[in-house]
Every structure is written in structure tokens, then in C-alpha cells.
Amino acid sequence: MSGYRCPTSSALDCVLSSFQMTNETVNIWTHFLPTWYFLWRLLALGSPGFHAEPYHLPLLVFLLPTCLYPFASCCAHTFSSMSPRARHICYFLDYGALSLYSLGCAFPYAAYSMPASWLHSRLHQLFVPAAALNSFLCTGLSCYSRFPELENPGLSKVLRTAAFAYPFLFDNLPLFYRLRLCWGRAHSCGRDALSCSHGYHLLCALLTGFLFAARLPERLAPGRFDYIGHSHQLFHICAVLGTHFQLEAVLADMGSRRGWLAMQEPILGLEATVATLSLAVIGNLLIIAAFTASLLRSPGACPLLQGGPLEEELEAKQQ
């Protein structure tokens, strides 16, 4: 209800606004600072010997979009007040980065986290290619969800939630199966046992989805949480914590199952990994470019590009 920036800000104004208290300030910093944390984790694992070992390649692939998605989100929240078109394009790119992150998760899960009974099954062989296709679906559906946002906000919310819930559920199929195998067992379930970090990751993911859908606590006290404490800020924090625990869980699987997995034939080599990532990046960029072109062709009177009463009031004050 308050704390909005001018909807026609310059790029410099947008950057400077990150050092002022607006309703986007905490959104910006809760993803800007984690970007550097994950980059530090990537560089800390970046010794030449570590890079040279093929067994570590899926982990490095996972860390690249892990650094990208919070940075893209930070940029989207920073520059979204330049214009209505800029706002939508910023979030198109944000959604694309999240889609690539969902693909990045599939690489270490396929390499380190598969249940023993799934190794070299058809699902295991197709797991990463299917995740690449899912990334296209995620980007396309989430970008499209912005078009009915004003006329049918309920449909927009459902589409966007589904766009990110589906890749999450698919990527975590190996963990759900291992959890089912080990649930309630008094004895150890061997190689399929999950670490505590897996549980924390899934709990944070559940909280992230709940906060995104429920819009709590601001629904209970409109205006009180405009600057600090609204659901999108909590959503950011839970998402970052979930990614941190996911990284720890991947490292735990990579270490505890190494002796056994080292004897297995890897699903994807270096060439296949690079090809899959390259095709996924190109495909997602083409989808974003298509939606951007459609947005740029839209007339200024299009409801998608119209500001609400608050934006009109801010523009009037500025004039």
C-alpha cells in the first residue's frame, strides 16, 4: 500500500533506490548478498584439481545457475520501475534464470542422488533431458502468466505457481522416492538414506511455495509490512536458505555415495553436459525474446502496459 518508487525511474534512480527504504529494498538485498555467497562457494570449490575430475562436473554445473538466479532476481527488482515494458522484461529474464536453476538441479540429482534401484533406468537416462524440456515449459508458462495479470489475476497466479511447482516436483522425484523408502524404518536404508540437509531443503521449499501463494502476513494487516516483513521478502529468504541446504545435501550425497557411484557409468559426459546446457540457454532466451517481441508490439493502451491508480498519482506528483 506504500513504499513504491516512481514508475518512470531512470536506471541510476533504480540503483540509488536500493539504498533507500522502499518496499523493494529488502527484496533487492535478500538476493544480492546471497549471489556473492554462492559465488564464494563456487570459487571455494574451484581448485584446478577439483575442476579436472569428471565426478565433480555436475556439482559445478549446479552452482552456475545457483549464482545466476538470485542475481537475476536482484536486477529484476532493482530495474522494474523504469517503465511498464521494462518491468515485464525484467521478470521475463528472472523467470528464465529460475528455469535454468531448475535444470541445474537435475544434474547433481542425476549424478549423486538417484535411488540405487533407479540407476541406469529409463527415467535416469532421460532425467536431465526431461528437465531441460521442463525449463522451456517453466519459462514459457511463467512469462505468459504476466499477460492476464490485470484482467484475470487469479489465473495469472495459478499459471505462475504451476510453472515453478512442476519443475520442483520433477527434480525432487529421487528425493521423494528415497524419503518413502526410508520413512519409518527403524534400521538404516543404506545408500538411499537422506541427510538432514535434504529435510531442511524440502521444508524451506514448502515454506517458499506457501508464502508465494498465501501472501501472508500482509493480508492480515495491510500496510503494516509494506517495507519489512511482507511475504515476498520472506519468500526470498526461504528460497535462499533452501538453496543453501540443497547445496549441502548435494555435497553430502556426493561424498557419502562416492565409493559406490565411482564404479557406475556416468549418464552425461562433458560434451553432453555442455550441449544440454547450451541448448537450454538458447531455447530459454528464444522464448524470452518471443514474449519480449510480443510485448514491444503491444500498443500503449494495452491493459498489460497500463499503470494502476497509485502509479498515475506518482506520475502526477512528479509532473
Task: Please say whether the beta carbons of 126 and 281 come within 8 A.
Answer: no
Using an 8 Å Cβ cutoff, are 166 and 133 in contact?
Answer: no
Q: Secondary structure of the chain in the HEC alphabet?
A: CCCCCCCCCCHHHHHHHCCCCCCCHHHHHHHHHHHHHHHHHHHHCCCHHHHHCHHHHHHHHHHHHHHHHHHHHHHHHHHCCCCHHHHHHHHHHHHHHHHHHHHHHHHHHHHHHCCHHHCCCHHHHHHHHHHHHHHHHHHHHHHHCCCCCCCCHHHHHHHHHHHHHHHHHHHCHHHHHHHHHHCCCCCCCHHHCCCHHHHHHHHHHHHHHHHHHHCCCCCCCCCCCCCCCCHHHHHHHHHHHHHHHHHHHHHHHHHHCHHHHCCCCCCCCHHHHHHHHHHHHHHHHHHHHHHHHHHHHCCCCCHHHCCCHHHHHHHHHHC
According to the annotation, is 232 in a ligand binding site?
A: yes
- Annotated binding-site residue? 77: yes
- Binding-site positions: 77, 232, 236
- Binding-site positions for Zn(2+): 77, 232, 236
